[in-house]
A and B are shown apart, each in its own frame.
Chain A
Amino acid sequence: MITDSVRRGLAAGLVAGLLAGAFALLVGEVPLREAIALEEQSHAAAHGSAEAAHDHGDAFTVSRTAQQVLLPVGTALLGAACGGLLGLVFAFVARRSRDRWRSALAFGTASWAAVALFPGLKYPSNPPGVGDPSTVEARTTWFFVAIGGSVALALLLWAASRWLRGRGTADVPRQMLVGAAAVLVYGALFFALPANTDPVEVPADLLWDFRLASMGTQAILWLGLAVAFGWLWHRAGNQEAV
């Protein structure tokens, strides 16, 4: 069960990651390219020479082509890694599930909300040219805290829901109660986390396009993973039944 679940998670994550990478190349690269062009313009203007446009390349550069080629590679690697972890945890939470397709969809969607959606709403992704290099460590730390806190709350709510079911609480009041608790605790975490105070000086429409593309990339990665993972379980179940 554990080996099968991890294997299916890895395969599903790889496929979903490649799909997300294709979307990112087609849709995400458009605002990304614009943002890089703006960044280079403002650098050139600030330093008064064309050469200064590449000043952050003094230390080390990877060509734009290589960065674009590695975009689907990165999303596929991240997809496979998340898929492997998802498969591992799923082997425990869905041990007694009778409908693994539904369980995988529900668990995959919940994982997306906890790992990507909530942290992404609190700390939205930014295009190149935004972000103070001196705050990158603090921003990374708080990003980690947002993911960790969000996952911890999801596990807590899941445990509370199981406990209520164990006590014989009917489905409708139990789900309403857990849902209301989720709104409260996630709302509290959202306002407890410190804001990202870095100035954002790119045009609003460019920022919106970039964030939408980023949210879309992550949604395709996680929801694609959930669907592919559920389908692999469903297919395995059908084969066992035959």
Chain B
Amino acid sequence: MAAIAAATRTTPKWGLMTLTVLAASATVFLVGFEQGTLTGGLPVLHEAFHDARHLLGFPCH
């Protein structure tokens, strides 16, 4: 019980939370949405994750 009480009293870890949200959003963007803007117009990531994008339901082409 003491451990649970201590855990709930801990202040939120803003650094960790921000890092998690940023890293996760960046991953989702790179795997699912990036259309070549970051690789000089060539759709490198779009083509690389082609099959994954189609089967995960992301809009394609």
Contact = CB atoms under 8 A, between A and B. Distances in A.
Interface of A: 1-3, 6, 21, 24, 28-29, 32, 59-62, 66-68, 70-71, 73-75, 77-78, 80-82, 84-85, 87-88, 95-96, 116, 119-120, 123-128, 130-133, 136, 139-140, 143, 210, 213-214, 217-218, 221, 240
Contacts, number: 133
A119 B10 CA distance: 36
Contact of A143 (B28, B42, B44, B59): B59
Given A70-B49, A70-B51, A6 B28 contact: no
Contact of B17 (A2, A77, A131, A217): A2
Contacts of A80: 27
Contacts of B13: 2-3
A88 B17 contact: yes
Given A81-B28, A85-B20, A59 B42 contact: yes
Given A81-B25, A136-B35, 9 more contacts: A2-B17, A60-B47, A71-B52, A71-B55, A75-B55, A126-B60, A133-B61, A139-B59, A240-B3
Interface residues of B, number: 38
A67 B45 CA distance: 10
Given A6-B16, A84-B23, A62 B50 contact: yes
- Judged by DSSP, the binding face of B is helix
Contacts of A217: 55-56
- Judged by DSSP, the binding face of A is helix
24 contacts: A24-B52, A24-B55, A28-B51, A59-B42, A60-B43, A62-B47, A67-B49, A70-B52, A73-B52, A75-B52, A77-B27, A77-B31, A78-B27, A81-B24, A84-B20, A85-B21, A85-B24, A88-B20, A95-B8, A119-B57, A123-B57, A125-B54, A133-B61, A214-B57
A2 B30 CA distance: 25
Nearest to A61: B47
B47 A32 contact: no
Contacts of B42: 59-60
A141 B57 CA distance: 14
Contact of B51 (A3, A29, A96, A133): A29
A24 B51 contact: yes
A128 B61 contact: yes
Contact of A128 (B3, B10, B49, B54): B54
